[in-house]
């Protein structure tokens, strides 16, 4: 089932439109979490950390599938059991409808999710992909059945971990003046790396020192 759909602009990472979220309505935090992850994916594409074409990203028991065409990003969140081929047909249909709009209008948008004219289009196209067993959808699935989709697949956890590591290295590589060192993110990054090593060294030194004291006391008592 298609549960979440968003459209965004790649060059500045601005989300333009979104369809209704068909997730667990009893848990808004759960639903918002997936929306935040989709926005994170858009930002990663915008900064060049993810492929600017198409990709499948696994998260929990779902999959994000995204398509980028002419600098516009289309993404949908589906159950992991939902056919990936059908998900990309859905994204391609969205892209064809989006291309009907004047590009200069799209470039003028500055507020997130303000292209509400496209929200209803998302809803109408999504209805066509709810039931995977309709004749139309079965025909799409069976077309070029032997041809595999050439799409990169990755886990969301790996992407997040790679981003965290990148932020640490970027912080360490940024030159700071002496007045900026204390309380800076760079100092926090250094502390994160060296604090465990320092603690182990101190504890080891204390044990060695105590051991030497007991050894000296023992030798003195035996004289």
Between these two residues, 210 and 91, which has the higher pLDDT value?
Answer: 91
The reply to whether 123 and 181 lie within a common domain is no
Asked whether residue 42 carries a pLDDT value surpassing 90, the answer given is yes
Query: How many structural domains comprise the chain?
Result: 2
CATH code, domain with 24: 3.30.450.50
| Residue 110 placed within a domain | yes
Q: What is the 3-state secondary structure (H, E, C) of the chain?
A: CEEEEEEEECCCCEEEEECCCCCCCCCHHHHHHHHHHHHHHHHHHHCCCCCCCEEEEEECCEEEEEEEECCEEEEEEEECCCCHHHHHHHHHHHHHHHCCCCHHHHHCCCCCCCCHHHHHHHHHHHHCCCCCCCHHHHHHHHCCCCCCCCCEEEEHHHHHHHHHHHHHHHHHHCCCCHHHHCCCHHHHHHHHHHHHHHHHHHHHHHHHHHHHHHHHHHHHHHC
The reply to whether 160 and 189 lie within a common domain is no
Q: Which domain holds residue 196?
A: 174-222
Condensed to tens digits (0 to 9), the pLDDT of residues 160-202 reads 999 999 888 777 766 655 444 455 565 556 556 666 677 777 8
The reply to whether 158 and 61 lie within a common domain is yes
pTM to 2 decimal places: 0.74
| Residue 169 placed within a domain | no
The reply to whether 117 and 182 lie within a common domain is no
The reply to whether 65 and 148 lie within a common domain is yes
């Amino acid at each position: 089932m298609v549960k979440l759909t968003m459209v965004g602009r790649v060059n500045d990472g601005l989300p333009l439109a979104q369809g209704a979220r068909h997730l667990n309505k009893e848990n808004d935090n759960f639903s918002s979490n997936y929306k935040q992850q989709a926005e994170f994916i858009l930002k990663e594409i915008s900064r060049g950390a993810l492929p600017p074409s198409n990709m499948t990203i696994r998260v929990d028991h779902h999959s994000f599938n995204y398509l980028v065409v002419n600098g516009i990003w289309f993404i949908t969140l589906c159950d992991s059991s939902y056919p990936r081929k059908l998900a990309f047909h859905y994204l391609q249909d969205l892209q064809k409808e989006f291309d009907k709009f004047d590009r200069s209008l799209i470039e003028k948008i500055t507020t997130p999710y303000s292209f509400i004219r496209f929200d209803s289009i998302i809803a109408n196209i999504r209805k066509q992909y709810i039931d995977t067993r309709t004749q139309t959808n079965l025909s799409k699935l069976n077309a070029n059945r032997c041809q595999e989709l050439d799409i990169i697949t990755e886990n969301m956890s790996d992407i997040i971990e790679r981003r965290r590591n990148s932020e640490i290295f970027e912080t360490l590589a940024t030159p700071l003046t002496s007045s900026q060192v204390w309380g800076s993110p760079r100092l926090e990054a250094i502390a994160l790396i060296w604090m465990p090593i320092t603690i182990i060294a101190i504890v080891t030194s204390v044990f060695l020192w105590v051991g030497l004291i007991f050894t000296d006391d023992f030798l003195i008592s035996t004289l």
